[in-house]
Amino acid sequence: MTEVYINSSSMIPIDRYYEYDIYDLVIEAYKNFEGEYDVNNIDLIVVANAYSQKLNNASLIAPKIAEKIGKPNVPAIKVDNADASGGAALLTAYSMIKSGMVNSILIIGVEKQSDYPSKYLYDTIATNLDEYMYYNGISSHSVAALLMRQYMKKYNVDGNYFANWAIKMHKNATENPFAYLRFPVDLNTVTNSQIISDPVRLFDVGARADGAAIVLLSSNKTESSVKINRIVSAQARYEFSPSLPSVKMLRNKLGMRLTEKTGIDIHDSYSIMAALMLEESGVFESGKSLYNLDNVNVNLSGGLKARGHAGGATALYQLAEAHMQLIGSFKGKKANVDDYLVISSDDLGIVSYGISLSR
Amino acid sequence: MKIAPPQVWRNKRFMYKLTASKCESCGHISFPYSSYCTKCGSKNVKKIEISGKGILESYTVSYQSRDGHEKGLPSVIGLVRLDEGVEIVAPIVDADLDKLKEGIKVEATLRRVYTDSYNGLIQYGIKFRVAE
């Protein structure tokens, strides 16, 4: 049986790169990559990206990226599943190697989100909603706010409870040189921050900016290999009970045993999504997850909240960070972990990918 | 923001009325209308028109607009449980924030959604208001 490994990884700090276009972001990530690893035998390039057509006026970006990194004749495809594009790209690449079709794939995640004002960016993000909501001007923030309000009522918690997530993520990000928001925040700062869509405040929202991250997948094991034990996918619409059935399905499909030496990385697009994901995935009991963040190695990079939200490239950051943690080369907060659970998702948890990794 | 008249015409099923599908197999109501049940996947569905009357289960006051929707901030977005049993997320208009509360009755109303000032086109849609 063919095994699939992540053999190397690279990323650039998430930031607002006014001097770089979408291709420059990839080139910067690839420069780091090329300097360290052999990338001469790539069979395929898979690009994870969600919004290039609308935000960058750029289509057919996969072959263009292949040209710009000096691989003009390596076949390249783009995989798009909104902010879960990275998970979908990994599933695609993993399946192709597992089938024996190819041996080595470069997965490139890239998103360029800082060129326009936020109202234009969030209009683009809102295309992920159903057509009634999109055409009536509703934003993903408001849907998240309704989920958060339902959670607050059900479990009798307030904004202080959700502030625990932002405080923890910013604390983790202070140690991460690749993080976008490398500063600590306290309870007062979080709970008095700007209201976006009540009760969602500024510090409840993942900070979108520009980013590019790359992993090299291969069937060959090397000294820096991390094995992909399993990848599963699930999709189901969020419920206002509130719950994320897709993440619950992942838990059942993945069957991964979580221990204190398991690193966890989740798609914390909103603090409510962090709580629901930690609970639906079985890490914590419902209604209590954000009281217990010191008991688990979760989002050591600072998460979408503080490391930054790279849109469709997010899962590539998650995978690169998990790879670096497991081989001991992560430059931010380190944890002594044996295995990793990565959950890639869109911002409202409709489609989810669960990835189990170990050395 | 630009309005495409063909899109407006196609979208009339959810912008000018609340057309949904009811699954004859599992009873689930899908809104907007879907030829296949969005819960069980059955194609045994029938088209229904939703009454537009329901209860405001929850709501959020939004202070950040999307491009083209700047007017009317802050906006109220509600979680509405319609009498037919389906939950939808919809804009709430004419709301007195001091009096708005969960559990009140709401009803559908046709309102302006946005204006394409370049082409002089106006997009209307179904929003909700507190029922008398």
CB contact under 8 A, A131 and B79: no
Residue B92's pLDDT is what?
97
- Pairing type for strands A104-111 and A44-48 reads parallel
Among chain A residues, CA nearest to B123: A135
Q: What is the mean pLDDT of residues A292-303?
A: 96
Residue A40's pLDDT is what?
82
- Enumerate the residues of chain B whose CB falls inside 8 A of the CB of residue A196: 62-64
Residue B124's pLDDT is what?
92
* Mutant choice from A121, A132, A205 vs B, greatest count of B C-beta within 10 A: A132
The whole-chain average pLDDT of chain A stands at: 96
Short-list A197, A126, A193, A140, CA closest to A165: A193
Residue A253's pLDDT is what?
94
The whole-chain average pLDDT of chain B stands at: 93
Does the beta carbon of A143 lie under 8 angstroms from any beta carbon of chain B?
yes
Is the pLDDT reported for residue B75 higher than 80?
A: yes
In chain B, residues 81-110 whose CB comes closer than 8 Å to chain A:
87-91
Residue A82's pLDDT is what?
98
Cα end-to-end distance, chain B, whole Å: 34
Is the pLDDT reported for residue A37 higher than 70?
A: no
Band of pLDDT at residue A5, cut at 50, 70 and 90: very high
Going by the DSSP 8-state scheme, the letter that residue A116 receives in this structure is: S
**Per-residue 3-state assignment (H helix, E strand, C coil) for chain A:** CCCCEEEEEEECCCECCCCCCHHHHHHHHHHHHHHHCCCCCCCEEEEECCCHHHHCCCCCHHHHHHHHCCCCCCCEEEECECECHHHHHHHHHHHHHHCCCCCEEEEEEEECCCCCCHHHHHHHHHHHCCHHHHHCCCCHHHHHHHHHHHHHHHHCCCHHHHHHHHHHHHHHHCCCCCCCCCCCCCHHHHHCCCEEECCEEHHHECCECEEEEEEEEECCCCCCCEEEEEEEEEECCCECCCECHHHHHHHHHHCCCCCCCEEEECCCCEHHHHHHHHHHCCCCCCCCHHHCHHHCEECCCCHHHHCCECHHHHHHHHHHHHHHHHHCCCCCCCCCCCEEEEEEECCCCCEEEEEEEEC
Report the distance separating Cα A26 and Cα A154, nearest Å.
44
Q: Which of B15, B67, B79 sits opposite A119 (nearest CB)?
A: B67
Question: Are A274 and A266 within 8 A, CB to CB?
Answer: yes
Query: pLDDT exceeding 90 applies to what percent of chain A?
Result: 96
What is the widest separation between alpha-carbon atoms in chain B?
A: 47
ipTM of the complex: 0.96
- Enumerate the residues of chain A whose CB falls inside 8 A of the CB of residue B77: 138, 142, 145-146, 197
Q: What is the mean pLDDT of residues A225-241?
A: 97
Band of pLDDT at residue B114, cut at 50, 70 and 90: confident
Residue A251's pLDDT is what?
92
Least confident interval from A106-115, A160-169, B109-118: B109-118
pLDDT tens-digit map of A91-106: 999 999 999 999 999 9
pLDDT tens-digit map of A121-131: 999 999 999 99
Q: What is the mean pLDDT of residues A232-243?
A: 97
Report the distance separating Cα A311 and Cα A299, nearest Å.
16
CB contact under 8 A, B87 and A139: no
